[in-house]
Structure 1
């Protein structure tokens, strides 16, 4: 879609004062998908030269905000990353064409802050941490689970830039379980729950996304029973936090969240006890 209010496209390597109406441009798959009447200038990140994916010295993974979904999918995962299947499961949750895969970025998906954003699901479930850069040159780190605070709402300050997401090595060695539901075959996720079992202390983490307006995480230091999981989900998710749109009513999303949480509990904890 043509953005007929945009007056200028600037290279992000050129430092300039942030102005009202500015917007960061990554892959542009969202920006050019619908009218953006408030945007006057696009700051293009495509020439920043950031390494898309980098294994950190301690065995974690740094994902540049400009990394595309295709690059994340193709990246060779080390054999010791037990959580490796989760990457492809979340990439496939886009249910998008190859054109989108080759343009859409991980950072753009997070910064849209949509409940069904599968890169939010992936990086939150693996305890990812966002590195944010301010216009004044400062930096701060925010867990992905705290980065999105509502449907389309993030903790970004005006002009602040998501530089990267770092996933710790410990999370990459977790056993994971993935559950997703949509109202129709090629539809947007209506509920997406991911479980991760810590390889060192056995903590079970459940990350609820898509059904809720923000990521919600539950941690169980000892293997929980069905009642404990149900009570935890009931307590953690306020009734008004179940998302309501054409892709699913809150009651259905709530039902699927409880169902998936219990399925994941059984998959990751009961097998361990055998």
Structure 2
């Protein structure tokens, strides 16, 4: 879609004061998908030259905000880590064409803050941490689970840039379990639940996305019972936080969250007992 209110595209490599009507441009798959009448200038990040995925000496994985879904999927195929399958599962949760895969970015998916954003699901489940850069160069870090605070709402100040998301080595060493459902065979995620089992201390984390307006990550020092898991989810998600749109009613999303979370709990517990 043409953005007929945009009068300038600026190269992000050439700093300039941020002003009302500015927006960061990554892949543009959201920006150009619908009218954006408030925009006047796009600040293009495509030439920043950031390495899409970088493995640090401590074993952590840093995903550049400009890393495309195609680049992440390709990297994950050769990733040697117990959590590696989760990357492809979340990439496939896009249910998008190859054109979207080659343009949509990890950072764009997070900064849209949509409940069904599968990069939010992936990075929240693996305890990811966002690196944010303010206009004055100030850096701050915030966990992905705290970065998205509602449907389309982020902890992001005007002009602040999401530079990257870092996934800790310990999270990559976890066993994972993935469940997703939709009202349609090839529909948008209505419920997406991910479980992780830490091989060091045997703790379990359950992350709920798509069904809720923000990612909900629950941590248990040991595998919870079915009743404890259900109670924890019920306590963590307020009544108004179950998402409501044409892809599923809140009551159905809540029911399916309990069902899929229990399937994950059993899968991880059975794997632990082997």
1:264 matched to 2:264: yes
The structure 1 segments of at least 4 consecutive aligned residues displaced by more than 6 Å after TM superposition are none
Contact between 1:81 and 1:173, CA under 8 Å: does it hold in 2?
Answer: yes
1:100 matched to 2:100: yes
Give 1:77 deviation, angstroms: 5.2
SS at match of 1:91: helix
SS at match of 1:75: helix
SS at match of 2:252: helix
Give 1:80 deviation, angstroms: 4.2
Give 1:270 deviation, angstroms: 2.9
1:136 matched to 2:146: no
The Cα RMSD (Å) is 0.9
1:12 matched to 2:8: no
Structure 2, unaligned stretches of length 5 or more? none
Structure 1, unaligned stretches of length 5 or more? none
CA separation in 1, counterparts of 2:76 and 2:122? 17
Contact between 2:61 and 2:166, CA under 8 Å: does it hold in 1?
Answer: yes
Give 1:199 deviation, angstroms: 1.5
Contact between 2:76 and 2:88, CA under 8 Å: does it hold in 1?
Answer: no
Q: How does 1:82-231 map to 2 (within 5 A)?
A: 82-231=82-231
CA separation in 1, counterparts of 2:45 and 2:98? 21
1:206-246 Cα shifts (integer Å, max 9, x gaps): 00000000000111101211111111111111111000001
Contact between 2:76 and 2:87, CA under 8 Å: does it hold in 1?
Answer: no
CA separation in 2, counterparts of 1:48 and 1:187? 34
CA separation in 1, counterparts of 2:32 and 2:79? 38
Q: TM-score, normalised by structure 2?
A: 0.98
1:141-168 Cα shifts (integer Å, max 9, x gaps): 0000000000000000000000000000
Greater mean deviation of Cα atoms: 113-122 or 50-59: 50-59
Alignment match, 1:22: 22
Change (3 A) 1:82 1:255: same
Q: TM-score, normalised by structure 1?
A: 0.98
